[in-house]
Structure 1
Amino acid sequence: MDCSSSCCSLDLVAGNGCTLSVEHRAALQTSMVLLKKNYKFQRVLLWGKIFGLNRDYFIAQGRGEDEMLDKKNLYSFNCMDWFLLPSATDSMVEDAAIAAKRRFIGDPSFVYERLEMSEGQGGAAEGEATVSEERRLAATVHQIDEDASVVPRGAFVKSPRGLVHVNRSFAGLSHSEAKKLDSFRHFRKAKNPNKKSIEEMGDLSPAIDFLDTLSDDIPEGSWSLQRECAGNVCVLRSLLWLGLTFYHLPMTPQHGYIYIGDGTKNLNLPFML
C-alpha cells in the first residue's frame, strides 16, 4: 500500500487482527519519505511484515518509471534503517525451497542447510545445499508478489511504449463490479493464455486488460472476497499466502495490499478446499 495513505489503509485491512503499532507507523511515515528521496523512487509502498523468531522483517517496495518491472525491495527491523534486498532469480527461488517450511529467524546472515544425496561414479554421495536468510527473504517476497499481488481492473495502464503506469483516470470499481472476483487482477507479467471468446474479447481493452484475472487461479477458491465496514470496503484475502490482504473502496481510486505473516506458503490448500 502507498506510504502516503498507509495509516488509514492499515485500519481497513486489520480485520484479520494483524496491524502495526503506533510507534512503527510513526517511524514509517518519516523513513519512507527519506527512502523515496535517497533512492529516487517515484513511489514507495509499505509491502508488509514477515515474522521472525527473534526479530521481524518490515518490507518496503520502491517503484520507478515502470511500476511492474522497476521494483526494488528493502527490509528493516525498526522501520528506520533500511537495507536493500538482492533481486530474486529463479535459482534463488529454488534454493529458498530448502527452508520453505521453516520459520524465519530474524537474522539475514543465518544459513539454512540441507543434506542432499547424489549419485556419483562410486555410488551415492552426500552433498550440502545452503541458502542465507537474506536470499530466502528476497525469494519469499518475490513469490508472494507473483502469487498474490492484487490490483483492481483499470488501476494500471500500459503505454504504447510498453511501460506500466498508474492510471490517473481510474475512479474505482462500481459496487456491483467489486462483488466479482474477475474484476481483480494479478500485478505481474501475464502467465495464463487468453482463453476468452471473440465476443468476450470485444469488451476488453489492451491498455488495461493485460493482466491475469484472479478468477482463473488454480485451485479454484484460492481467494476470499468479502465486504466489510457496512459494505463500503471490498476485502480480498489470499488462502495460499495466509496474511496477504487487499482492500478497495468502490467508486474511489483507493486500493492496496499488505502481507503480514510468517512467510510460509499454504501448501495444503488444494486438500482444504
Structure 2
Amino acid sequence: MDADNLLLSLELASGSGWGLSSFRRASLLASLLLVKRDYRFDRVLFWGRILGPVADYYIAQGLSKDLLAPRKTLYSLNCTDWSLLPPATEEMHTQTAVVSGLFMGDPSHEYEHAELQKVDDGEKVFDEEVVMHIKEETRLVSVIDQIDKAVSIIPRGTLCKTPFGPTHVNRTFEGLSLFEIKKLSSYFHFWEPTDLKNKTLLEKADLDPSLDFLDSLEYDIPKGSWSIQMERGNTLVVLRSLLWPGLTFYHVPCTKNYGYVYVGTGKKNLDLPFML
C-alpha cells in the first residue's frame, strides 16, 4: 500500500481482522515520509508486518521511477527507525530453506541447523556433523522476496510499458469495472514476468504489449490459491492468498484506490494442494 495514502489504505484492508494503533499509524506516516526523502525513492510502499514473539518486523519498500526495477526493502521494529536489507540471493534461499517455526523478532538471532556432510580423508569416507548458523535477518530477506514473487498484486492497467523499456504508472487508469473485478485475469503479479516469456506467439496475439506485460493470476499454481470476495455492499473487492496466508489485496472498483499488505508469520501453506 502506498505510503502517501496510508490511512485510507489501512482502513480498506482492515476487513482481514488486523489493525494498527493510533501511535503506530502516526509513527509510520512520519517515518515513511523521511525514508522517501532520505533514500530519494520515487514511491514508498508499506509492505506489511511479520509477526514474532519478541517483536514484529514492519516492512517498507522503496521504488524508483521504473516501477519494475529492483526495489529496496527496509525493516523497523518500532515504526520509527528503519534499516536497509540486502538484496535476496539464491544462496540465501537455499540457506534459509532448512529453517522453520516463527520469527523471533530479533535480527541478530541465529538459528542452528545440523547436517551430515561426507568427508574424504584420503583413506576412507565418513559422515561428519556440521552445525550451520543462520541469521534471522537473512531469513527475513528470503521470506520477503518469496512473498513478493508469489503474491504481490496490481490490477490490470495500472502500469504501462514504454517502447524504451521503463515501466510507469498509467495515468489513464480509472479502476476496474464491476464486470472485471471478479476475474483473476484482471490482476497481475507486481514482479518481473516469468510465465509470459514461455507463451507462444499465438497465445500473445490478443495481448496488449503496453498493458499485458506481466504474469496474470489466472495461471497461478495451484489453481484455487486465491479467494475473491466483495465487501462493504459490493463497493470493495478483496483478494486473499491461501498459499501465503496473511496477504490481502484490496481495490475500490472504478477508482485508483488499490494496494496489498502482508500481515502474518512468514510461513507458506505447503498443505494447500491437499486442501483444495
Could you tell me which residue of structure 2 aligns to residue 112 of structure 1? 111
Question: How many angstroms apart in 2 are the aligned matches of 1:93 and 1:31?
Answer: 30
Could you tell me which residue of structure 1 aligns to residue 9 of structure 2? 9
Could you tell me which residue of structure 2 aligns to residue 53 of structure 1? 53
Question: How many angstroms apart in 2 are the aligned matches of 1:96 and 1:19?
Answer: 29
Q: Secondary structure at the match of 2:23?
A: helix
Question: How many angstroms apart in 1 are the aligned matches of 2:152 and 2:172?
Answer: 21
Q: Secondary structure at the match of 2:181?
A: helix
Question: Do 1:98 and 1:112's aligned partners in 2 also have CA atoms closer than 8 Å?
Answer: no
Shift of 1:128: 2.1
Question: Do 1:98 and 1:130's aligned partners in 2 also have CA atoms closer than 8 Å?
Answer: no
Could you tell me which residue of structure 2 aligns to residue 85 of structure 1? 85
Shift of 1:195: 4.2
Q: Secondary structure at the match of 1:28?
A: helix
Shift of 1:19: 1.7
Letter in structure 2 aligned against 1:184 = Y
Question: How many angstroms apart in 1 are the aligned matches of 2:66 and 2:204?
Answer: 26
Unaligned regions of 5+ residues in structure 1, if any? none
Change (3 A) 1:196 1:140: same
Question: How many angstroms apart in 2 are the aligned matches of 1:112 and 1:20?
Answer: 29
Question: How many angstroms apart in 1 are the aligned matches of 2:247 and 2:43?
Answer: 21
Question: How many angstroms apart in 2 are the aligned matches of 1:253 and 1:197?
Answer: 32
Shift of 1:169: 1.5
Letter in structure 2 aligned against 1:188 = W
Identity %: 49
Could you tell me which residue of structure 1 aligns to residue 102 of structure 2? 103
Task: Please show how residues 137-176 of structure 1 align to structure 2 within 5 Å.
Answer: 137-176=140-179
Shift of 1:197: 7.8
Task: Please show how residues 141-220 of structure 1 align to structure 2 within 5 Å.
Answer: 141-193=144-196, 194-195=198-199, 198=202, 201-220=204-223
Letter in structure 1 aligned against 2:216 = T
Instruction: Identify the range of structure 1 (42-51 vs 6-15) with the bigger mean alpha-carbon deviation.
Output: 6-15
Could you tell me which residue of structure 2 aligns to residue 253 of structure 1? 256
Unaligned regions of 5+ residues in structure 2, if any? none
Could you tell me which residue of structure 2 aligns to residue 126 of structure 1? 129
Question: Do 1:98 and 1:131's aligned partners in 2 also have CA atoms closer than 8 Å?
Answer: no
Q: Secondary structure at the match of 2:229?
A: strand
Question: How many angstroms apart in 1 are the aligned matches of 2:138 and 2:201?
Answer: 42
Question: Do 1:95 and 1:130's aligned partners in 2 also have CA atoms closer than 8 Å?
Answer: no
1:206-233 CA-to-partner distances (Å, cap 9, x unmatched) read 1110111111011100100111110011
Letter in structure 2 aligned against 1:104 = F
Could you tell me which residue of structure 2 aligns to residue 65 of structure 1? 65
